[in-house]
Amino acid sequence: MASETLRVLIPEDRLQARIRELGRQIRQDYGDAPITCIGVLKGSFIFMADLVRAIGGDIRCEFLGVSSYHGGTRSTGVVRITEDLNNPIEGQHCLIIEDIVDTGLTLDYLLRTLEVRGPSSIKVCALLDKAPRREVDVKADYVGFSIPDEFVVGFGLDLGERFRNLPHVAVYTP
Ligand code: IMP
């Protein structure tokens, strides 16, 4: 694949500075309350690792596996849980941690799935927001960066499992 290109969209230092800001903001909003952070696998794992340290205080980490893409650059629109939470979330303040909100179908499905489990509150923190592509009316409470309608990789985001380990976010052109 000699012709594919990667162009840096958000460099590492901007990502880290923004994550520190988000962490401060989130901790300020929740006060001393314990927060159950729910990372949506696999894309959020790097963002979550940095974000939970930036939030600080009493944090529990849970993970949920979902699949909406099948190795391509467009969502299939069919969301499925591939790995469920290991623990109940009833009575807890939950923060869903997403890599990116694109059509919003994944987030809409997750919110509906988790709300019925009785959390005290449920909010969403997304590193990236591709608002022009939204198909359902969902919004993250905390957003790192709004980005244009381009396919991005790096910092946890992949294309067919590649590029997750890039320290920055890059636009992928086939
Ligand atoms: P949505 O359901 O369309 O909002 O898509 C959400 C999921 O699609 C994200 O959690 C990502 O895993 C994936 N996704 C959406 N846009 C991109 C992208 O530009 N690069 C990599 N993955 C993406």
* 71-121: pLDDT as tens digits: 556 666 678 899 999 999 999 999 999 999 999 999 999 999 999 999 999
Residue 58's domain comprises 12-149
| Distance from the Cα of residue 71 to its chain's centroid | 18
**Which is the closest atom of ligand 1 to the Cα of 75?**
3
Question: In the numeric block, which tokens belong to residue 11?
Answer: 């460099």
The span from the CA of 57 to the CA of 65, in Å, is 25
Q: Specify whether 102 is catalytic.
A: yes
The span from the CA of 104 to the CA of 77, in Å, is 9
156 is a domain residue: no
How far, in Å, from the CA of 89 to the mean position of ligand 1? 25
What is the rounded average pLDDT of the residues 163-167?
98
What pLDDT shows up at residue 75? 61
130 is a domain residue: yes
According to DSSP, the residues that pair with 39 across neighbouring strands are: 63, 97
Task: Please tell me the pTM assigned to this model.
Answer: 0.94
Between residues 80 and 166, which one has the greater pLDDT?
166
Provide the domain count of the chain: 1
Catalytic residue among 50, 99, 102, 158: 102
2 is a domain residue: no
75 is a domain residue: yes
Top mutation candidate among 7, 42, 67, 69 for ligand 1, by most atoms within 8 Å of CB: 69
Question: What is the DSSP-derived secondary structure letter of residue 75?
Answer: -
What pLDDT shows up at residue 68? 74
35 is a domain residue: yes
170 is a domain residue: no
Pocket of ligand 1 (CB under 6 A): 43, 68-69, 75, 98-107, 151-153, 157
What pLDDT shows up at residue 67? 83
3 is a domain residue: no
Is the model's pLDDT at 165 over the cut of 80? yes
161 falls in which pLDDT band (50, 70, 90)?
very high
What pLDDT shows up at residue 99? 98
Q: The domain spanning residue 47 has which CATH number?
A: 3.40.50.2020
**Closest C-alpha to 44, from 115, 127, 147:** 127
145 is a domain residue: yes
The span from the CA of 109 to the CA of 58, in Å, is 27
Question: What is the DSSP-derived secondary structure letter of residue 115?
Answer: H
